[in-house]
A and B are shown apart, each in its own frame.
Chain A
């Protein structure tokens, strides 16, 4: 099975701009979760999508949003970028049913906001 893929891998944006990140889960996985990872805060949960619906949400401002398509691919959008949004953004997929499962992570998108 192909692993989780994320595009782009690296991104440099200017404060105030917006950005869209993409994630393709493992085939058959219906749950996609997004995380922000920074050296100071570790891995923080943004939101989870399951069958095109946001099922869980972390404590991030409304500038962070996402969606999931019928093929389970997911996108994450950050509007009005701030310097503090510089981070590694990871997505992870799992089956999403039948109890907790290990998360399969993609390689991440490294976002730098200048």
Chain B
């Protein structure tokens, strides 16, 4: 089976930096995705990690450590529009279908 854990809720201040962690246990590993989902909307793709290390994309960065079963999403220069749910999703070995965590609800306040 697969198990993915991430915090339920986080709060942060506009302009700050926040790190959202994700730990996973899977049978095999074929990549990890982060998605953003605003209330009432569909999830949208943010990042994909398959090798260890940091992937940077503008204000968002994602890190992966396969040996530790750990990833984080780093959001810099937070804006009010970053208030959303952030979903960690892992592709187990041999699968095209990711297993999603329950998501972390991020609240950005002024």
Contacts and interface: CB of A to CB of B under 8 A. Distances in A.
Interface stretch (A14-22, A64-72, A74-82, A96-104): A96-104
8 contacts: A42-B100, A42-B102, A44-B100, A48-B96, A50-B96, A100-B30, A103-B89, A105-B42
Contacts of B98: 100, 103
Interface string A15-49: 00000000000000001010100000111110010
B97 A48 contact: yes
Interface of B: 30-31, 33, 35, 41-45, 48, 50, 87, 89, 91, 95-103
Contacts of B99: 45
Interface of A: 31, 33, 35, 41-45, 48, 50, 55-56, 90, 94, 96, 99-108
Given A56-B95, A90-B42, A107-B42, A100 B100 contact: no
B28 to A, nearest CB: 12
Kindly name the residue among B35, B42, B48 whose own CB sees the greatest number of chain A CB atoms within 10 A.
Answer: B42
Contacts of A45: 97, 99-100
Nearest to A31: B96
